[in-house]
Amino acid sequence: MGNQLAIEMDSLESKVYEIQLGNRTLQNELLRAYKPYIAKCVSEVCKRYIDPKKDDEFSIGLFAFYEAINCYSETKGSSFLSFARLVIKRKTIDYIRKERAKSVVVSLDKVQENEKLENPLEIDAANKAFRIQQDNWNRRQEILLLNKQLQAYKLSISELVKVSPKHKDARRNAINIACLLYNDMEMRNFILKKKRIPMKQLVQKVDVSKKTLERNRKYILAIFIMLDGEFIYLQDCIKEQLNIDIVSVAPSS
């Protein structure tokens, strides 16, 4: 932990840039210093203690941290640790999905041996159904967490269902405005502190009437909250509507 503190005091971001320029010694130091942080991030996804010496998931997290070092840029709108945390969690979730899919295939292969099941389409269908079931469960957990966070802004999921823009273009515009709010440090800090949108500032930065902004205010605020939290599955829904890489607006902690 002492090594980690020393690195942070000398600007973690500057160290990352130095590694990107080829400092392999510093890279190894950083990976060693942040093993506890990596294990913590992976544990949060797996919902159990992760042993760096025994669990394969830690290796996934370690490689994700290494990948984050090489991909990080301040233009992504967050600190390095916030960006690395998101990358680690995404890679860990991808790993868990693949492992679960493998277990389903192995299980179905045994059924095939025992019951002479010869139709590969049934295996594929069962595999797909399992992944959908797991993804739906994870989304429900994120929605429950989102509902709790919305309460701080005097909002709720049921209310959002009523006020969400009906037209696709209106939703896309609202999401783009939420991304703008998130990426503007001054406006982001205002929202996090005041729990409301700085309308006067926002009107000057977008080509949208104040009346339209007010009408979609709650929806915009909800999207902002999703961007600022660790809502990996819900952010995927946002990404699908905007066709962007949500890591480019990686949430900060």
What pLDDT score does 117 carry? 44
Contact 186, 200 (CB under 8 A): no
Q: Which residue has the higher pLDDT, 20 or 125?
A: 20
Nearest to 72 by CA among 1, 23, 15: 15
Q: Are 57 and 64 in contact (CB under 8 A)?
A: no
The mean-pLDDT minimum among 24-33, 40-49, 174-183 falls in 40-49
Please give the share of the chain, as a percent, with pLDDT higher than 90: 26
Q: Which of 5-19, 56-70, 196-210, 211-225 has the lowest mean pLDDT?
A: 5-19
Dig out the tokens for 234 from the structure.
Answer: 């819900």
The pLDDT of residue 118: 47
Q: Give the sign of the dihedral formed by CA 48, CA 54, CA 58, CA 60.
A: negative
Give the per-residue pLDDT at 180.
92
**Mean per-residue pLDDT for 123-152?**
74
Q: Among 179-193, 209-223, 225-239, name the one with the lowest average pLDDT.
A: 225-239
Q: Are 172 and 241 in contact (CB under 8 A)?
A: yes
Going 214 to 215 to 217 to 223, the CA torsion angle's sign is: negative
Least confident stretch, 35-49, 91-105, 126-140:
126-140
Mean pLDDT confidence for 214-231: 88
Q: What is the pLDDT of residue 238?
A: 79
DSSP 130-142: HHHHHHHHHHHHH
